[in-house]
Chains A and B, each alone.
Chain A
Amino acid sequence: MRSFINYPPAPPDWPGGYWWHWLVFTLIIIAFVMTMALIFIWYERRLVGRFQSRLGPNRAGPFGFFQPVADAIKILTKEDIITSRGDRVIFWIAPIVGFVSVVMIFAVVPFWEGAVLVDLDAGLLFVLAMGVIPSIGIFMAGWASNNKYALIGAIREVALLISYEIPMGLALVGVILMANSLSLEGIVQAQEIPFFVLQPLGFFVFLVASLAEINRTPFDLIEADSEIVAGYNIEYSGAKFAVLYLTEYVEALAASVLLSTLFLGGWRGPILPPVIWFLIKVMAMFTLIVWIRSTLPRLRIDQMMSFNWKFLLPLALINLAVVTLVVFSSLPGWVAFISGSLVLIIYLALWSVIFRRGGKFVQT
């Protein structure tokens, strides 16, 4: 029987066998995820500050770099409260479910050529599957809190997941078609030209859909502070809240990592070492996400649904058609770039007219 895992995936000069590889890369991934999550928390707060013409936290340590550490200490020393009628077991498990599954995404992400924990043949399927499980964690959190706001947030999360998974998957199909591989390593190898040039439509769709998946601001209505207070995590405090909070940033990290791996060429790049290129691309993608967050207001749930089904899904289908045409007629790359960009611009202009104030259905 042929295994799904191509082992040994270790670099040829790596000492020891598969288990050493497994141990070292697990440690590296956990260290990477935790450090980057803390850096992201700091970076986002500073950057949102600059986008809003203020400074952001700058007191704790140089440039406020230890602010997330101070916050973590504060949160961890807080009292841990469980609602009296909440479902205790699920309440406990929920943050862990979300965090563990989102960290598992990084198992298939290549940091370098061959520097990957497991180079799964079905890597993208694994990513899709693992990217969905945090939503189950969020739903569990909202359900177990026994709080109406938490439940509304949780139900919104499920609605969001069901709708945005479709354009996301369709955008990934475009990537798979072009790379002719489901493994992330293979996709990176296939990107002589980064895919965001070859399929700008797919990049756009994946960016928006992943923003919705990780609940960043235009779609953060599962924790909408102004309407349902904090959504699913309203009853959480102490260490469990810290884990939920961390999960959000690890999800953002996962989205940035996937965007840079699937569309920006992952570790590929001239002169600098591949890891540096990888980190640069991840930071660039996160900067884009923060930029969008600091600019756009939150959507209503009905706006979000109509945005997905009427705008994003057709766009994903058009992207799939364009990519299929380009791949199967082996057209040169510039045709793909120009056709994709043209379609994107025309589509955006057209839909901005159609969707103005909800068409003719909204009275002023």
Chain B
Amino acid sequence: MSRPNFGIPKGLLVTLKNIIRHPVTVQYPDERLVISRRARGTDIIWNKNTCIACRACERACPTKAISIDVSRGEDKKLKVDRFQIDFGTCIACGLCVESCPVEDALYMSYSYERAVYRREDLISSDDELLPGEGKQPSGYAHPEVEKTLTLQTLLLDKDREDSQ
């Protein structure tokens, strides 16, 4: 003889508690989760002034998304004529950032909204790779950037710029 089973009232109580709870869903375009500032997002930020045109990132790229045109200037130094990344083939692996010998030339960004209407719009070059609004360097592979970022624990806060 086993004890009486109260599974159904228990279940009813569980669903009733959900009514009082705040919904867990995020109304995406209106509110968004604060994601990690250390994430490998879908953007790459390139600093034109500190790049030494060594093409290490181009060689490191497993999908050949990066293409760089390099020429020697009058002072015999290498300079970049064109730095182009096709984000249609970029897999956001971060190997280019890791392979970069210069400390502050190449960063991942933590932004993740890269939907466009045409594939050609995904190819960005030179000045389009500068940091901008909603496109800030992430702490990935850059300890000096990581130090300046706020501490993040739970990434569930909605609609807030800084989550502590």
> Is A180 in the interface zone, CB < 8 Å from B?
no
Look across to chain A and name the residue whose beta carbon is closest to the beta carbon of B7.
Answer: A352
CB 8 Å contact bits of A166-186 with B (1 = contact, 0 = none): 000000000000000000000
Q: How far is the CA of A49 from the CA of B5 in the complex (A)?
A: 27
Contacts between chains A and B (CB distance < 8 A), count:
48
**In the assembly, what is the distance between CA of A353 and CA of B2, in Å?**
6
A53, A54, A348 interface centre (most CB from chain B within 10 Å): A53
Q: Are B15 and A294 in contact (CB under 8 A)?
A: yes
What is the interface residue range for chain B against chain A? 20 to 34
Q: Is A4 an interface residue (CB 8 A)?
A: no
What residues on B are CB-neighbors of A350 within 8 Å? 4
**Per-position binary interface string of chain B over residues 1-43, scored 1 when its CB falls under 8 Å from any chain A CB and 0 otherwise:** 1111111100110111011010111010000000000000000
Quick check: A50 and B18 within 8 Å, CB to CB?
Answer: yes
Contact with B along A39-59 (1 / 0, CB 8 A): 000000000011111110010
A78 at the interface (CB under 8 A from B): no
Contact A55 B11 (CB under 8 A): no
Least CB distance from B112 to A in Å reads: 22
A352 touches B15 (CB 8 A): no
Q: Are A53 and B4 in contact (CB under 8 A)?
A: no
Query: Which residues of chain A in 267-309 are interfacial with respect to chain B, using CB atoms and an 8 Å cutoff?
Result: 291-292, 294-296
- Residue of B6, B14, B21, B25 ringed by the most chain A CB atoms within 10 A: B25
User: A53 to B6, Cβ gap below 8 A?
Assistant: no
Closest to B27 in A: A55
Rounded to whole Å, the gap between the CB of A249 and the closest CB of chain B is 21
Q: List 26 A-B contacts (CB under 8 A).
A: A49-B23, A50-B18, A51-B16, A51-B19, A52-B18, A53-B18, A53-B21, A53-B25, A54-B24, A55-B25, A58-B27, A291-B12, A291-B15, A291-B16, A292-B12, A295-B11, A295-B14, A295-B15, A348-B4, A349-B4, A352-B5, A352-B6, A353-B1, A353-B2, A353-B4, A353-B5
Nearest 7 pairs of A and B residues by beta carbon: A352-B5, A349-B4, A53-B18, A51-B15, A54-B25, A295-B15, A295-B11
